[in-house]
Structure 1
Amino acid sequence: MNNKFSICFVSFFFFFFFSMINFMYMIYFIMNNMVLFLEWELISFNSTMIVMSILIDWMSLLFMMFVLLISSVVIYYSKSYMSSELNLSRFIILVLLFVFSMILLIISPNIISIFLGWDGLGLVSYCLVIYYQNMKSFNAGMLTALSNRIGDVCILMVISWMLNYGGWNYIFYLSFMKNDLIMMMMSSMVILAAMTKSAQIPFSSWLPAAMAAPTPVSALVHSSTLVTAGVYLLIRFNLLLVNTIFLKMLLLLSGLTMFMAGISANYEYDLKKIIALSTLSQLGLMMSILSMGMPDLAFFHLLTHAMFKALLFMCAGVIIHMMMDIQDIRFMGGISFYIPMTSLCLNISNLALCGIPFLAGFYSKDLILEMVSLSNLNMFIFFLYYISTGLTMFYTFRLLMYLMIGDYNLMTIYNLYDEEYIMLKSMMILLMMSVISGSFLSWMIFSYPYMIYLSFNMKMMVVYVSLLGGLLGYIISTMSIYSENKFLMFYNLSNFLSMMWFMPNLSTYGLNYNFLNMGQNLLKNIDMGWSEYYSGQGMFSILKKYSIFYYFFQVNNFKIYLFSFILWMMIILLFMMMI
């Protein structure tokens, strides 16, 4: 057993140590305004060089620090959570591959190495989603992989278009690309790739489906790695995306994603899917503020969100463990009496998600919403921002009502205990970060204080919608827990809203199923049919027949030819004598 767990401890120590080193370097880089660009020549052959390039600045160091810290905590947590797993080493190695792919993506100024990290994330996420090897996991893994392939193809097209510039180090060409016609196509491809990875409408259905993965993977994927890769890519390509029509489209779609995820979370009863839809809502917030031209704010919210979202998933994992693998919140209730430390972590991470003052989420969400109020936006986008903020409070209070305040509804399996010390210790690190990360990041990232001057009611708008959302969440939950569910009175509307606007059906049956069928028919009729007959296989069969015919004459014995020659000569002589 010690052998099996040694890989967990070594990985935890290694990642935690390097995250602290990254933090120190980041402070040095940000104070001295430094950027380090490294090029390492791998092969030089006939005046052609293959070079590996690395970009290290305060942004990549800070993001790497967060990724490594969350990864170390998740791996330590897995030591307890996955203790009954026979192939724990295989699981940890997959997680390590996942983290290394993300780090490659973070430090790459080169579109080729970005693609390696990008595709590595997609491939390893497929392996992790199908980890439990049942039919639901296989379907979820296929949906995840096929949705992300669209983004991979977009990155490949960007790689091919960048051949026009003579190199793939995109950071050198961003300012030049702004004045170029190809920029329109490249920016559309980059935005589409980011939308698939960050699960914006119409690619949203894969993110809740990916909950089929083990909970430690969900904590890692939905906080700082896979889903944030798209946001990070757009932050890096930000100069390329100024004032294009695609940014306006992205603003609309990300606003709708935020709104749709908030509504769907209020109809969901699966604990992990509620948190996944919450992630989707926050990703919509990051993408929308990014499309308004504020990459620093998007990066700030990305980092603060990573901490409390990883903690939220870890708490959900502990609760699911205690409930003997039941994820339905209707069976839960009153858990604060039985597992108080986990309940404390869950409540603080939930309050940080809501933007309660002086927790991590408050600093980024409040700043984002005040900048939105200050911006020259139409009423529809303004409405989407504030209603989505209210919906966050709505589903959070609903979750707390079901988990903390309602009655415990599973009396037959009464096995709640708060003594998983390995899980608790790992959660304590993130608990501390969920409280303090917002304030210290706001001091470090923004070197000058933001003074946003608004009227009193506009300033208080965030408080109004939050209080209204919390109150509605409390009332609706009370109505649903203690009496019949009022949502059933509007069954068709509830069905539409709870099914993420029918997006999973459209993705599965509409797009993927039909495209796969079309691909199969093309393969059967064209690639393995007419194309084979008239090119490779057809030519091969004709040459084969001719070669057999010629071979028959070539391999016959010389005696046969001599005998036939003498026979023919005798026949000719006999014929001449008769004449």
Structure 2
Amino acid sequence: MKFYCICFLSFIFLFMFSMMNFFFFMFFLMNNMVLMLEWEIITLNSCSIVMSILLDWMSLLFLMFVSLISSVVIYYSKSYMSSELNLTRFILLVLMFVFSMILLIISPNMISILLGWDGLGLVSYCLVIYYQNLKSYNAGMLTALSNRIGDVLILMVISWMMNYGSWNFIFYLEFMTNDYEMMIIGAMIIMAAMTKSAHLPFSSWLPAAMAAPTPVSALVHSSTLVTAGVYLLIRFNLLLENMFFLKLLLLLSGLTMFMAGVSANYEFDLKKIIALSTLSQLGLMMSILSMGLPDLAFFHLLTHAMFKALLFMCAGVIIHMMNDMQDIRFMGGIGGYIPLTSLCMNISNMSLCGIPFLSGFYSKDMILEMMSFSSFNFIIFLLYYISTGLTMYYSIRLMMYLMINDFNLLSIYNLYDEDYIMLKSMMVLLMMSVISGASLMWLIFYYPFMIYLSFNMKMMVIYVSMIGLILGYLISNMSIYSLNKFLVFYNISNFLCLMWFLPNLSTYGLNYFFLSYSQKLLKDIDMGWMEMYSGWGLYNIMKKYSIFYNIYQMNNFKIYLFSFILWMMMFMLLLSLNF
């Protein structure tokens, strides 16, 4: 009962907070307002540590989306997590997570950004290891260690920015874009954002984090943790004018997009397919950001948050129905049994593919047309369009396995679509997945993008999508054999299936090296000579002295008598030597 009260109150509070943010966003947008609040905590040698809050149309709109999705996810958890123990702990962890994200969104100050950034990393670790088993612990450790790299880089940025007398980066963006020091800060911020948004070579933690409960995945991998890096770079976009950094980021984000799309086509775990699709969309956001279009990246970030949260929630319902089975090869034919969930799943999937007039279409189509309109080379062009085709490919493959192929799990099964708590929460996101694209397009952009391209270039998105759709249908229907059926292609299939061996490199390579090295330091220094000369050594000396003094106190008469005789003998000896 206590859990339901906390859950309901959290839902109401976050939903009302979301509506309030929407009205504030409209007011700030119409009046072109920016509000900055500062509270000075401590001043040390002309460096002031202040708690700053920046409210403008961007932060308020993002707050509205984060609080709306988190309120719906908490309401969804009321049913999804109802059979679990320690539910109050789960809701409190989710609320701490949302609070950390809110702190990150409204902060123009590096100190408070670090608090939110580190809070996200810590709470995400607690949520990934929520189901306490070996796989979850390993996934949580990989997530925490990958994100710690970004935390360390943010700390280095804070120490570097002491040169400027303040940590409010918002004041330095305009007039320090060509400064050598700010270029170093820009490089550190890009690296930190790449770790948090799971770009190459830090991609392996994102599918591993699927060990968390599904409501957490819906929240974390749609609008909060993984988009924190993208949002930070949108705020720092004026620093990203160094062409070398931009080209490097563009290449890495394009490769991330391609790698995630290929790996998703080889994956059979339902949640990991959706996680890899998130990784692909993050690559799309980062790449358009590195082209110098932060508003467009923010637009795709918001539309993606809606349909991806819905996709995870539908996956959670399906996993529940399948007795906690996540392998899509055992699923099939669910469209006739759970029609409303299947409807939500298909609409969110089509929105991900960029089917016209759903929310994903407005942002993805504009991104691809702006890329075609730009002056980038053929490799970038191929990475974009092949990744778009792969998105269509794995989405259609997922639909075929779930909706159309035969049911392969149990001969007696119970599929029902009457969990109204889950359905209500999904319907909110379904409505937003349909209408958010068109409405945000009018709100965010002050002027319409007029993109003039030739007919074939304009239709290229449709061509590529159609090719992806046909290939996805043929491969999943097994009417033609895929390449990985042949042993000749076993090695290349293994390479593509395992995300270019990134999990192995991250786990057995970097993380294992650092962890084993730190264990060696612990044994040799903390538990070795350092221990002998500090803690354990001091303890031994004190123990010996205390034993000695204890004997001295307990036997004082004997000791005094003995010492008196000894002194007398020494005195007599000295006298005899003098004579």
Quickly name the TM-score band, shorter chain normalised.
over 0.9
2:87 alignment counterpart: 88
1:202 alignment counterpart: 201
CA gap of 1:40–1:573, structure 2 versus 1, over 3 A, is closer
Q: After TM superposition, what 4+ stretches of structure 1 lie above 2 angstroms from structure 2?
A: 41-51, 410-413, 482-487, 522-533, 535-576
Other structure's SS at 1:51 match: strand
2:34 alignment counterpart: 35
- Give the whole-Å Cα distance in 2 for the aligned partners of 1:184 and 1:365: 30
1:488 alignment counterpart: 485
Other structure's SS at 1:136 match: helix
| Equivalent pair of 2:48/2:166 in contact (CA under 8 Å) | no
2:259 alignment counterpart: 260
- Give the whole-Å Cα distance in 2 for the aligned partners of 1:558 and 1:411: 90
Give deviations 1:267-318, integer Å, cap 9, x for gaps. 1111111100000000000000111111111000000000000000000000
Give deviations 1:81-128, integer Å, cap 9, x for gaps. 001012111110000000000000000111011011001000100111
Count residues in correspondence. Answer: 573
Give deviations 1:359-381, integer Å, cap 9, x for gaps. 00011001111110011101001
| Equivalent pair of 1:363/1:438 in contact (CA under 8 Å) | yes
1:182 alignment counterpart: 181
**What are the residue-to-residue correspondences of 1:523-542 with 2, within 5 Å?**
523-530=522-529, 536=534
Other structure's SS at 1:41 match: strand
Amino acid at match of 1:344: L
| Equivalent pair of 1:202/1:503 in contact (CA under 8 Å) | yes
Other structure's SS at 2:54 match: strand
Amino acid at match of 1:434: S
Give deviations 1:377-398, integer Å, cap 9, x for gaps. 0100110001100110000111
- Give the whole-Å Cα distance in 2 for the aligned partners of 1:567 and 1:202: 81
Q: 1:413: Cα distance to partner?
A: 4.0
Give deviations 1:16-49, integer Å, cap 9, x for gaps. 0010000000000011111110012345689875
Other structure's SS at 1:175 match: coil
Amino acid at match of 1:20: M
| Equivalent pair of 2:52/2:108 in contact (CA under 8 Å) | yes
- Give the whole-Å Cα distance in 1 for the aligned partners of 2:360 and 2:318: 23
Structure 2 residue runs without a partner (length 5+): none
Q: 1:567: Cα distance to partner?
A: 4.5
Amino acid at match of 1:417: Y
Other structure's SS at 1:52 match: strand
**Deviates further, 372-381 or 33-42:** 33-42
Other structure's SS at 1:464 match: helix
- Give the whole-Å Cα distance in 1 for the aligned partners of 2:455 and 2:530: 71
Amino acid at match of 2:94: V
Other structure's SS at 2:356 match: coil
2:220 alignment counterpart: 221
Amino acid at match of 1:324: N
- Give the whole-Å Cα distance in 2 for the aligned partners of 1:313 and 1:572: 95
Are residue 429 (structure 1) and residue 467 (structure 2) matched? no
1:371 alignment counterpart: 370
1:59 alignment counterpart: 58
**What are the residue-to-residue correspondences of 1:313-392 with 2, within 5 Å?**
313-392=312-391
2:126 alignment counterpart: 127
Are residue 501 (structure 1) and residue 500 (structure 2) matched? yes
Are residue 105 (structure 1) and residue 104 (structure 2) matched? yes
CA gap of 1:387–1:483, structure 2 versus 1, over 3 A, is closer
- Give the whole-Å Cα distance in 2 for the aligned partners of 1:181 and 1:87: 51
**Deviates further, 38-47 or 21-30:** 38-47
Q: 1:69: Cα distance to partner?
A: 0.1
Residue identity (%) = 73
- Give the whole-Å Cα distance in 2 for the aligned partners of 1:256 and 1:17: 40
1:8 alignment counterpart: 7
Structure 1 residue runs without a partner (length 5+): none
- Give the whole-Å Cα distance in 2 for the aligned partners of 1:573 and 1:46: 69
- Give the whole-Å Cα distance in 1 for the aligned partners of 2:360 and 2:412: 36
- Give the whole-Å Cα distance in 2 for the aligned partners of 1:141 and 1:546: 45
2:75 alignment counterpart: 76
- Give the whole-Å Cα distance in 2 for the aligned partners of 1:569 and 1:309: 95
Q: 1:448: Cα distance to partner?
A: 0.7
**What are the residue-to-residue correspondences of 1:445-460 with 2, within 5 Å?**
445-460=444-459
CA gap of 1:496–1:554, structure 2 versus 1, over 3 A, is same
Q: 1:172: Cα distance to partner?
A: 1.1
**Deviates further, 417-426 or 44-53:** 44-53
- Give the whole-Å Cα distance in 1 for the aligned partners of 2:549 and 2:47: 47
| Equivalent pair of 2:333/2:407 in contact (CA under 8 Å) | yes
CA gap of 1:311–1:562, structure 2 versus 1, over 3 A, is same
1:287 alignment counterpart: 286
Are residue 438 (structure 1) and residue 437 (structure 2) matched? yes
Give deviations 1:429-449, integer Å, cap 9, x for gaps. 000000000011000000111
**Deviates further, 397-406 or 429-438:** 397-406
With the length of structure 2 as denominator, give the TM-score of the two structures: 0.94
2:407 alignment counterpart: 408
Q: 1:497: Cα distance to partner?
A: 0.7
With the length of structure 1 as denominator, give the TM-score of the two structures: 0.94
Amino acid at match of 2:64: M
Give deviations 1:25-77, integer Å, cap 9, x for gaps. 00000111111100123456898754211111110000000000000000000
| Equivalent pair of 2:139/2:208 in contact (CA under 8 Å) | yes
Give deviations 1:414-434, integer Å, cap 9, x for gaps. 110000100000000000000
2:148 alignment counterpart: 149
Other structure's SS at 1:419 match: coil
| Equivalent pair of 2:46/2:165 in contact (CA under 8 Å) | no
Amino acid at match of 2:383: L
RMSD: 2.5
Amino acid at match of 1:487: N
Amino acid at match of 2:5: S
- Give the whole-Å Cα distance in 2 for the aligned partners of 1:568 and 1:426: 95
